[in-house]
Structure 1
């Protein structure tokens, strides 16, 4: 049986998809595309205008149909997570925790908070507070975990830590996840399947690599990074090489340092492309020849 099934959310031709147990599903899209609303509908925290959500074969009830909104077995971590003030972390996590001490210790290690248990909540960074809020949801392990923009407002260190935590939640605890992000590049290495939304509808769905390399339009292509439209084909910057001999000749208009590589803007006869290289010798004004891989 499928873990989750959405049928025509928003009306006929609306959002429909199936999620298997253990499948990492990411929902991407620009701001206002309906990502967070969809996540709340899945969790029983908002009501769809039409359609139905099935969780383990049973309909997810809308908030008006429950005394306390929310679907049993589904946990939702919002963008605006909150912790009680002036409590120690271990006090917060002990509430409603039916796990054994060994199970709790494993969970806290997975969430990378075992060193924070004695700290007070008002002495924590934003990233630490978020991981504690996440662990608090997991002391009663859900069968589906919904994560709404978990990487927003995090610095690179805390973002990398949280990425490891989310991966380990699935691999070590066996919890199926849906993750929403306005930055699809945060999803690429984690997701098994990506759902791209636009104006409340599905623009494209498939494995991350297919969506990255074979976007159906410029909206999807642009969400997943820089691209070149050559003829009717979308070409990523890393798929263009500077070569000794090539049919396309141009002039370098800009070189942008990106850390481990450079983005090079090249003006061709009738167009402009961006390519990616590690060649430190490329300079603005250079004449170059390029070729597609």
Structure 2
């Protein structure tokens, strides 16, 4: 059985194409993350999968059946696909237990399990206007999941959350997948949210799917500078300079891409450079080094240099990538 198959989906609104020929598949239990700049079509793609936006061409197949769009269905949406947007709403001034009861189709035991997983059991007597943003979001999520969907679509679930609520929500999302067996697709701008969680990442650019693959592949072998920038810092060095400085040559590509952690500073050899800046980020230092023709960033867990030091730069040749 095909769990989810998006095939040749395009979406146009008022003559403007929002999505162009998007195709991918997802297996049951597979965790998929969608990354891309604002306006790249991520939310529209989720809404199309959920049956809330009508594709201009192509189709979405869910569990071997076509997802019907809003043009052909009186009440948009699919009963087994839940979509939580960034603009979720809760009724004002009601107790949380009232909000949940209105939409609850679960047994009491199932409901309690869901509330515990969503970390909201202690909130049921509170009124919705007494909740923090993170608590309101988890209430909205629990209400949405009361139909026990097979596929959950989360649109920027971590945006506008402080570190505490973000950590709680990450635990909730983990448990929804592992304990309840709900398959998830989520959108996030933060590489820390996607690289460590996803089984597969889709990269969107101007309405097109430009790259997809496992997190390690996406991070170490980005298809272009745009994709590289979505998942962390990088150095982009013209091919002519890469050849003269490091002896690295690729006639088919125009730039050498180096992640900062693929570069080391040494004392006795390597390409000569001068330390121009040092920044401390807690888990690592970011050191900027000026070479003869280009400035590069290096990350290191320890820092035994100071600004102005002359250093040598060595590149891990197994971790270079060309774009």
Please say whether Structure 1 and Structure 2 have the same fold, judged by a TM-score greater than 0.5: yes
CA-CA distance at 1:157 after TM superposition: 1.3
After superposing the two structures, state which structure 1 stretch, 56-65 or 98-107, moved more: 98-107
Encode CA deviations 1:145-198: one digit per residue, 9 max, x unaligned: 010111111111111111111111100100001101233332111110000000
Contact 1:196 1:202 in 2 (8 A): yes
In the TM superposition, 1:94-173 aligns within 5 A as 94-173=101-180
Question: Which of 193, 200, 206 pairs up with 1:193?
Answer: 200
For 2:3 and 2:295, the matched residues in 1 are separated by 46
Aligned to 1:210: 217
Map of 2:260 onto structure 1: 237
Q: Are positions 1:8 and 2:31 aligned together?
A: no
Once the two structures are superposed, residues 208-246 of structure 1 have per-residue CA deviations (whole angstroms, 9 ceiling, x without a partner) of 110001111100001111011244432211121222333
Question: 2-side partners of 1:282 and 1:90: how far apart?
Answer: 58
Whole-angstrom CA distance in 1 between matches of 2:21 and 2:277: 43
**Can you list the C-alpha shifts for 1:71-123, whole angstroms capped at 9, x where unaligned?**
12000000001111111111111223232322222211111111111111001
Query: Any conservation in 2 of the 1:228–1:236 contact (CA below 8 Å)?
Result: yes
Match of 2:306 among 283, 287, 290: 283
Gaps of 5+ in 1: none
1:253–1:266 CA contact under 8 A, matched in 2: yes
- Is contact 1:86-1:121 (8 Å) kept? yes
Where in structure 1 do 4 or more consecutive aligned residues deviate above 4 Å? none
Query: Offset at 1:21?
Result: 0.4
Equivalent residue, structure 1, for 2:30 = 23
Is the CA contact (8 Å cut-off) linking 2:20 and 2:207 kept in structure 1? no
Q: Distance in 2 between matches of 1:99 and 1:71?
A: 18
What is the CA–CA distance in structure 2 between the aligned matches of 1:121 and 1:13, rounded to whole Å? Answer: 40
**1:116 & 1:289 partners in 2: Cα distance?**
57
The answer as to 2:98 corresponding to 1:91 is: yes
| Higher relative contact order (CA closer than 8 Å, sequence separation 6+) | 1
Give the equivalent residue in structure 2 for 1:38.
Answer: 45
- Indicate if the aligned counterparts of 1:213 and 1:234 stay in contact, CA closer than 8 A: no
- What is residue 293 of structure 2 aligned with on the other side? 270
TM-score by length of 2: 0.87
1:78 counterpart residue number: 85
